[in-house]
């Protein structure tokens, strides 16, 4: 399907600069653009490519001022990155979706199924589960007894959702995600450990996306909570009874220990860790590979392991990088002091 520049501009509330009739039928990165594709320029580091790209149309910010002549048609928008995301969402929505119930699959007693579903082969839906309208359940998914799935949610192959957990509407769970495995609860028992039964569940609210091979553990009692709009990357661990606040994002290989509470709009960098029972205020940023062991204030930016205020961290890091030089200066001063002392003692 081909779209003209003038139609794309209308959709994005943009302005065409060039040929409004030129058409595209695919998208491409700006450095790999070819005739008939649409690209975008959002990062100034990629500006050199706009002068050589063969893309027919390029989305740019309204403020972009070209330094050289261009061969492509521009569409100026408020935010090129956001506009491109909107186009990709539209493109994705036009793709065909599987429908129907494939065999072999298992649907237990008392299961409630919504309208226009897709249930892939070898999927298992346990007794008493509730599946909303337009849900897509891909092959080899396990949905335990009493699980609830909201409408328009997509569950990709290999996801496991344990008993009594709840997943909201318009969520996406990627392959290998495990929702509701036992929390890590043990009590010392002589020379070993006794398991504490984990009798709670996991509640995932609407519009949550959970990456591949991410684990969200069930609560010991009550619920582990993933609030509305949360985005979890691949390979993340969220422990029992943790709460991840609305619209918080977490990058790959990060982890949240038991009973920690993350506020709204927090940003957790890759390989970062949050100690159990902490409270992160709204808007907290924890940079990559940091380890947080204290509560935070609203909109705090924390860095390091243990993590502390980023401004203080940066000042400390300047000193840290100079340690070899400072050490040599200290040795030189020590040598001079010893020399002065020896000279004084001879007098």
- Catalogue the active-site residues: 240
DSSP of 206-250, one letter per residue? TT-EE-TT-EEEPPSSSEEEE-TT-EE-SS-EE-TT-EE-TT-EE
* Distance from C-alpha of 141 to C-alpha of 10, rounded to nearest angstrom: 41
- Residues whose CB falls within 8 Å of the CB of residue 175, separated by 6 or more in sequence, listed in order: 156, 157, 158, 159, 212, 213
* Distance from C-alpha of 130 to C-alpha of 128, rounded to nearest angstrom: 7
* Distance from C-alpha of 55 to C-alpha of 244, rounded to nearest angstrom: 41
C-alpha 173 chain-centroid distance: 12
- Cβ atoms of 193 and 187 closer than 8 Å: yes
Does residue 194 sit in helix, strand or coil?
strand
* Distance from C-alpha of 248 to C-alpha of 256, rounded to nearest angstrom: 13
- For the record, the structure tokens of 247 come out as 């619209």
- For the record, the structure tokens of 286 come out as 């924890």
């Amino acid at each position: 399907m081909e779209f003209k520049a003038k139609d794309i501009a209308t959709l994005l509330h943009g302005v065409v600069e060039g040929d409004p009739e030129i058409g595209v039928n695919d998208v491409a990165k700006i450095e790999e653009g070819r005739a008939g594709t649409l690209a975008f320029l959002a990062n100034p580091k990629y500006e050199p490519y706009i002068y050589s790209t063969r893309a027919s149309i390029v989305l740019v910010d309204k403020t972009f001022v070209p330094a050289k002549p261009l061969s492509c048609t521009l569409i100026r928008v408020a935010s090129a990155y956001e506009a491109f995301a909107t186009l990709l969402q539209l493109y994705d929505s036009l793709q065909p979706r599987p429908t129907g119930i494939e065999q072999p699959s298992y649907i237990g007693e008392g299961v409630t199924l919504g309208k226009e579903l897709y249930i892939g082969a070898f999927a298992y839906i346990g007794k008493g589960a509730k599946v909303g309208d337009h849900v897509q359940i891909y092959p080899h998914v396990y949905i335990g007894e009493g699980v609830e799935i909201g409408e328009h949610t997509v569950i990709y192959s290999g996801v496991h959702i344990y008993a009594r957990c709840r997943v909201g509407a318009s969520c996406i769970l990627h392959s290998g995600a495990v929702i509701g495995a036992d929390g890590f609860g043990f009590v010392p028992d002589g020379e070993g450990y006794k398991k504490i039964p984990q009798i709670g569940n996991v509640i995932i609210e609407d519009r949550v996306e959970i990456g591949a091979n991410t684990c969200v553990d069930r609560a010991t009692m009550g619920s582990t909570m993933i609030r509305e709009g949360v985005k979890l990357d691949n390979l993340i661990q969220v422990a029992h009874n943790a709460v991840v606040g609305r619209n918080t994002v977490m990058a790959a290989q990060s982890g949240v220990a038991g009973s920690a509470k993350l506020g709204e709009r927090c940003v957790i960098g890759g390989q970062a860790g949050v100690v159990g029972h902490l409270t992160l205020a709204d808007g907290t940023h924890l940079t990559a590979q940091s380890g947080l062991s204290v509560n935070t204030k609203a909109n705090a930016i924390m860095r390091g392991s243990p993590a502390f205020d980023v401004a203080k961290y940066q000042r400390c890091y300047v000193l840290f990088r100079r340690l070899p030089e400072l050490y040599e200066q200290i040795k030189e001063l020590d040598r001079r002091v010893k020399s002065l002392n020896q000279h004084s003692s001879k007098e």
